[in-house]
Structure 1
Amino acid sequence: MKAAFFTLGCKLNQCETEALADSFEKQGFHITEFSDASDVYVVNTCTVTSKSEQKARRVIRKVSRDFPDSLVLVTGCYAQLEPELIGELGDNVLSVPLDQKDLIMDMAAYLASGQADGLDLYKHAGFWLETQAPGIEGSQSRFRFSAADFNFHARAFLKIQDGCDHRCAYCRVCLARGKSVSLDSSVLLERLKELEAKGYREVVLTGVNIDSYSDGEMDLSDLLETILDQTEGFRIRLSSLEPETLLSRDLSILSHPRICPHFHVSAQSCSNSVLERMNRPYRSESVKNAVERLRELKDHPFIAADIICGFPGETDEEHRETVAALEQLNFSRIHVFPFSPRPGTAAWSMKPAIPERITGERTGDIRKISKSSYGQYLNDQNGKQLKVLLEEQSSSGGQQYWEGTSENYLRVRIPYDMDLQRGSILLCRVRRLEQQILYATVE
């Protein structure tokens, strides 16, 4: 049998999809491209913005229509919050809530036996989910998503945390994922050592809010120190960090050479009044201080940020405050989003709403800042040495290349060599920049 997977949203979703695909493959399924004919399609959804939900619906409708005899399993945050709507997108579409998401990993062999007996896969899967108890009782079921092999990435992902205790006015991920829970540190270290033994040279530690990692008295800083002490074969990349975490804890461990000089700061705005309405637990000065702290810890790190434009009530002056701060902070890249009202959140009914035209103009202002600062950061890499993890082969201008990601999260191409292997890390020197891709040679 064949299975295909489609992921929307964050690195946490990517991590969980990898685990689902790995489990299907180990139970005899062949993993195919999502556009190819398959027996089972799994769509892992996101609810951060209305656009991510629209894309999910479009993908689900298309695959349901194009392959009516296949089973379409839909899970993730959007499926958790809107299961009835998801189920109406196709007669072969089955919505799987987050508290049963881990059970998808146990489903493959059952589906294969059902197809061999000539059973309808949709009914077969629905009956199975209705009759199954959780794979693991309690919150630790959320950490069953641990892939031993990765189908879609050359680097490894490890989920260390789930859920969120913040109640930001614009976000409903906390409604879907629930309260913050953390993976037991002994299990976490065991999984990391398994990945190390398999030869993975980079591991991405991911979660909804990894800043809130806690195992007894162990926080994120303690965890990183323990990982660095007990492993040695891979570099570590972190997902988003909160400004207040960077300031309230001793995170000097981030200066360690095995921790990638690539950070993503969840800023959202640089206007104090907007941050207050967002119910964010910090102010603009904290964002500035957090960025300064990261630059003290690492030499010329890549620092990205999230910014929301057009939050309800945002004035021209508040927008100018954010623009002025971003120009000063000089983020390597800014991920800017037009405000998207989410049902069930405090901001859903906030007034006044900002007209779409004005929101678009403000988004454009910040994208210009991001384009300029990103271009400058890329230009600064010319002649520098970078450690590049090889991920895939590509071609340009009739020449073949290996393409990979540097420790500071830049796309790098090096001349193709048959002796090089996917997943290895090479020391390279940047020679030129073309269309936001660095071209380098192996040192």
Structure 2
Amino acid sequence: MTRVLIVTFGCKLNQAESEDLGRRLAGEGFEIAQLPSEAEVMVFNTCSVTHIAERKIRQAIRSNAKINPSLQIVVTGCYADRDRSGLLTLPNVLGVIGNDSKSEIPAFLSDHSHHRVRIPRSFMPIRARSFIKIQRGCDHRCSYCIVPFVRPVKHSRDPASIIAAIKLRQAEGTKEIVLTGTEIGEYQSNGLGLKELLNRILEETTIERIRVSSLQPQELTPSLVGLWTNERLCPHFHLSLQSGSNSVLGRMRRRYSTDMYRKAVELVRSVVPDAGISTDVIAGFPGETDAEFDNSAAFIEEMNFSRLHVFPFSPRPGTQAAEMPNMVEAKLIQRRVEKLLSIGQECLNTFEKQFIGTKQKILVEGKSGNKWVGFTGNYIRAKISGSQDIINQIVEVVL
């Protein structure tokens, strides 16, 4: 049988789509490889959100082609939509298939493979955490973002299909599912929004942990956040920020202000006091002055996030921000990145310290050295000693 390795770059939506692709390939008779050395074919599910991400993908393709000259490579995802012709020039690339055609990859590979046998769908490895796509696409066109150019059509998955997928993952042994998409706060299907979908999942499934990926502050309502009183919903919220300066948010064409953001955080903490709140921030957006950066840094400190993901501004072709004047010089961007990373580390330390000595439930996902590693519901990484195999189990420990 042909051995295929799927390599995923970027967002949780890509991770969900890679999982789905792996299941389809396994169902069609392909063996899912776990290491590059095992693979005859590699599928790169790509990201195009920054030029750095694209560079890493090109490097990975060239590196694997050099190590294994007979390797066949298929490229899919956002980079495939953005620059198909460029990717086709890279070594060993057999095909470039866009986001909307990912479902055609098994058939494409079948046409280029000759040694396959039917194997059961359950051949897929068990995952403690599984990603479930509930929505795709965004048309808001924030001034810096490439996503509306590569995933422009919004579509929400039918609730019955989502619930069936969750039940399948649970039957396979998954303990936690992550609901993901491009803009999941705008989920709408058959008259149901995200709140109604979560209610149905809570009522119609028994999966132990449900995690919701990125939301935006204007999407949070008391009735939606109120669902988190159910302990099956993991008390972790990823609320996109991008900047703590209102003037920068305006140039970014974001749909909220820092005051709206502050109120969303206050709402979460009033309902779910132990919640982890993480976010993304861009450093060095075009025209970002020292005063704007200082305002942003101060706001981030005020919010006291549990985790902070920092990205240097990366101009993407075709976006408004790429044509804006007053680009910030690279060295200054790097200094701002380092400052924000330092703030983020302080916030993480403060958040984790308040749980030392408390009992927490950990979903064990793997092993690091001689310790088991997993995450609490509010996304604190924990290590557990012990010789007994507890992988893919939820255990209660004292942090």
What TM-score, normalized by structure 2, do the two folds share? 0.93
Closer, same or farther: CA 222–148 of 1 in aligned 2, 3 Å: farther
1:412 is matched with which residue: 374, 382, 398?
Answer: 382
Closer, same or farther: CA 219–73 of 1 in aligned 2, 3 Å: same
Q: Cα deviation per residue 1:154-196 (whole Å; 9 max; x = unaligned)? A: 2121100000121100101111111221001122122222223
Equivalent residue, structure 2, for 1:368:
342
Equivalent residue, structure 2, for 1:81:
82
Number of aligned positions between the proteins: 394
Counterparts of 1:117-136 in structure 2, within 5 Å, are none
2:392 is matched with which residue: 420, 423, 431?
Answer: 423
Q: Cα deviation per residue 1:292-331 (whole Å; 9 max; x = unaligned)? A: 1111121221111111111111111111111111111111
Q: Cα deviation per residue 1:317-354 (whole Å; 9 max; x = unaligned)? A: 11111111111111111111110000011111001101
Rounded Cα–Cα distance in structure 1 between residues aligned with 2:15 and 2:265: 27
Counterparts of 1:151-170 in structure 2, within 5 Å, are 151=125, 153-170=127-144
For structure 1, which runs of at least 5 residues remain unmatched after alignment?
117-146, 431-443
Closer, same or farther: CA 280–92 of 1 in aligned 2, 3 Å: closer
What value does the CA root-mean-square deviation take over the aligned residues? 1.9
Equivalent residue, structure 2, for 1:179:
153
Closer, same or farther: CA 92–275 of 1 in aligned 2, 3 Å: closer
Amino acid at match of 1:3: V
Rounded Cα–Cα distance in structure 1 between residues aligned with 2:347 and 2:364: 26
Equivalent residue, structure 2, for 1:3:
4
CA deviation after TM superposition for structure 1 residue 246, in Å? 1.2
Amino acid at match of 1:288: R
Rounded Cα–Cα distance in structure 2 between residues aligned with 1:216 and 1:7: 31
Matched, 1:350 2:330: no
Greater relative contact order structure (CA < 8 Å, 6+ sep): 2
CA deviation after TM superposition for structure 1 residue 218, in Å? 0.9
CA deviation after TM superposition for structure 1 residue 112, in Å? 3.2
Matched, 1:293 2:262: no
Matched, 1:304 2:278: yes
Rounded Cα–Cα distance in structure 1 between residues aligned with 2:40 and 2:135: 32
Rounded Cα–Cα distance in structure 1 between residues aligned with 2:224 and 2:362: 29
Counterparts of 1:204-243 in structure 2, within 5 Å, are 204-243=178-217
CA deviation after TM superposition for structure 1 residue 30, in Å? 2.9
Rounded Cα–Cα distance in structure 2 between residues aligned with 1:88 and 1:152: 36
Q: Cα deviation per residue 1:201-236 (whole Å; 9 max; x = unaligned)? A: 111001111101001321101111111111223210
Counterparts of 1:239-250 in structure 2, within 5 Å, are 239-247=213-221, 250=224
Equivalent residue, structure 1, for 2:295:
321
Equivalent residue, structure 2, for 1:26:
27
Rounded Cα–Cα distance in structure 1 between residues aligned with 2:88 and 2:332: 36
Rounded Cα–Cα distance in structure 2 between residues aligned with 1:216 and 1:148: 31
Rounded Cα–Cα distance in structure 1 between residues aligned with 2:126 and 2:141: 32
Closer, same or farther: CA 421–195 of 1 in aligned 2, 3 Å: same
Rounded Cα–Cα distance in structure 1 between residues aligned with 2:314 and 2:298: 23
State, as a whole percentage, how many aligned pairs show the same letter: 37
Matched, 1:192 2:166: yes
Matched-pair contact (CA < 8 Å) for 2:158–2:190: no
Matched, 1:270 2:270: no
CA deviation after TM superposition for structure 1 residue 29, in Å? 2.9
Amino acid at match of 1:82: D
What TM-score, normalized by structure 1, do the two folds share? 0.85
Rounded Cα–Cα distance in structure 2 between residues aligned with 1:179 and 1:96: 17
Matched, 1:378 2:352: yes
Rounded Cα–Cα distance in structure 1 between residues aligned with 2:34 and 2:163: 32
Amino acid at match of 1:379: K
Closer, same or farther: CA 235–371 of 1 in aligned 2, 3 Å: same
Matched, 1:332 2:306: yes
Rounded Cα–Cα distance in structure 1 between residues aligned with 2:258 and 2:123: 41
Q: Cα deviation per residue 1:5-63 (whole Å; 9 max; x = unaligned)? A: 21110111111112222222333333334431421111111011111010001001112
